[in-house]
Amino acid sequence: MTGLRQRIDKLFDVQLAVWPLLRANRRTLSRLAGRETEAGGERLALLFNPERARSTVAPLDAESVRRRPCFLCATNRPPLQQAVEWRTYQILINPYPVLDRHLTIANGEHRDQRIAGRTTDFTALAVELEGYTILYNGAKCGASAPDHHHFQAVLQGSLPLEQKSGTDDGRTVWWSDPTGHTSVWSLADGLRRVIGIEVKFSEITENTRELAAEKAAVLMETILAALAECQPGEPEAKVNALAWADATHLTVLLLPREKHRPVRFFRDDGGQVLFSPGAIDMAGLVITVRPEDFKKLDSNMLEEMFLEVIPSDVDWREMTKNCTRWLDKNP
C-alpha cells in the first residue's frame, strides 16, 4: 500500500472518530435504496441519496456562485474537517458522500475549475492514490463548485463504466506508440462518448508509474486542446474525466459533454427530474435526490437525458476527426 493511501486511511479513521456528521452520513449510505436498470443497451445503477440534493440543485449562475461563500476554501470548511496535504491540494473526506470513503481534493487556492494545465496532477494522483479512481467534473459538467478547482475520488471498481472499459469491445484505436504500451482509443455506446488513454507500466520501455502518469497527462492535454477547438467560446472543453491505476497500467477516460443539465431538470410539472450529471452519473451510477425521481426513472427517460447532455453524432464525428488530427501532429 502506498504512503499516500496509508495517510488517507488514517485520516478517514480520525475523522470518523471526531466528526458526528460524517459518522451519521456514512451509516446512512448502507441504508440507501438502490436498483439496477438498463438504458441505451448499457447497465446503470440508480441510488437514492437525498443528502446529495445540495450539490444536485445548487444554483450555478455566475451571480449565485459569486455571492455564496466557497465551501472548498479552508476558511469556510467545517471546523472538524481535517486534510492531508498533497502537492498544492488538500485531500478531504467528503461529509456528504455518494459512496463510502468519498474524497474531495481541493486546490489550496481559490481558482476556477479547470483541468487544462493540471492534468499532471490528475494522472499523478491516480498513480499515487492506490485503490482509488480520481474524478473530474468540468465547471459546466456537474461541478457544484465551478469557482474552486478540485478533483474527487471514490474507491476503485465502484462505477459500471470502469468495468466496461476493461474490455476491448467496441473500441476504435485512434493512436498508439510503436511499442504498443501507450494507446488512445474511443468508444461510443448507447449513452456516452468515451475517449480512453492507456499507458502500460513496463521496465522494458522505462514506463515507470511516474513516467506513465506524465505520458498520460501529455495525451490528455492534446485531446483537451482538440476538443476545445470543437467548442469555441467555452473556457475549456466540456468534459468529465476518470483515472485509475492498477498493477499493470494507468487508465484515463474523458467523456465529452454538450450540456450540463437536461431540459427535464428545469420543468415545473410532473415531468421534472433533478438530474445534474457529473462523472459518477456519467460512469453509470445515477444519483437521485427525490423519491419520485428514483421511482419513475425508466430506461427511456434515462436514455433521453443522457443523449441530451452528450455530443450529437455530428459533433462526435467532428471531435473524432479533430482529435486524431491533433494526435497525429502532436503524439
Measured from the Cβ of residue 331, the count of other Cβ atoms closer than 10 Å reads 13
0.75 surpassed by pTM:
yes
Task: Convert 42-111 into a string of H (helix), E (strand) and C (coil).
Answer: EEEEEEECHHHHHHHCCCCCHHHHHHCCCCCCHHHCCCCCCEEEECCEEEEECCCCCCCCCEEEEECCCC
The predicted structure's pLDDT at residue 124: 97
The predicted structure's pLDDT at residue 195: 98
> What does pLDDT average to over the chain?
94
Band (pLDDT 50/70/90 cuts) for residue 206 is low
Taking only the tens place, the pLDDT of each residue in 160-195 is 999 887 776 789 999 999 888 999 999 999 999 999
Across residues 40-66, what is the average pLDDT? 88
The predicted structure's pLDDT at residue 54: 78
The predicted structure's pLDDT at residue 207: 61
pLDDT at 204 over 60: no
pLDDT at 117 over 60: yes
The predicted structure's pLDDT at residue 205: 58
CB 150 within 8 A of CB 114: no
Taking only the tens place, the pLDDT of each residue in 133-161 is 999 999 999 988 999 999 999 999 999 99
The predicted structure's pLDDT at residue 270: 84
Distance of alpha carbon 238 from alpha carbon 121, whole angstroms: 19
pLDDT at 64 over 60: yes
The predicted structure's pLDDT at residue 169: 74
pLDDT at 15 over 90: yes
DSSP assignment letter at 266: G
Distance of alpha carbon 29 from alpha carbon 132, whole angstroms: 18
The predicted structure's pLDDT at residue 250: 96
Distance of alpha carbon 310 from alpha carbon 322, whole angstroms: 17
Taking only the tens place, the pLDDT of each residue in 155-164 is 999 999 998 8
The predicted structure's pLDDT at residue 331: 55
Rounded to 10 deg, the angle between the 20-29 and 3-18 helix axes is 100
The predicted structure's pLDDT at residue 210: 92
Across residues 14-41, what is the average pLDDT? 95
Taking only the tens place, the pLDDT of each residue in 295-313 is 999 999 999 999 999 999 9
The predicted structure's pLDDT at residue 159: 96
- Residue 277 carries which side chain, given as an amino acid letter? P
The predicted structure's pLDDT at residue 133: 98
Catalogue all structural domains in the chain, each as residue range(s) with its CATH number: 3-329 (3.30.428)
Query: Which range, of 52-61, 82-91, 216-225, 286-295, averages the lowest pLDDT?
Result: 52-61
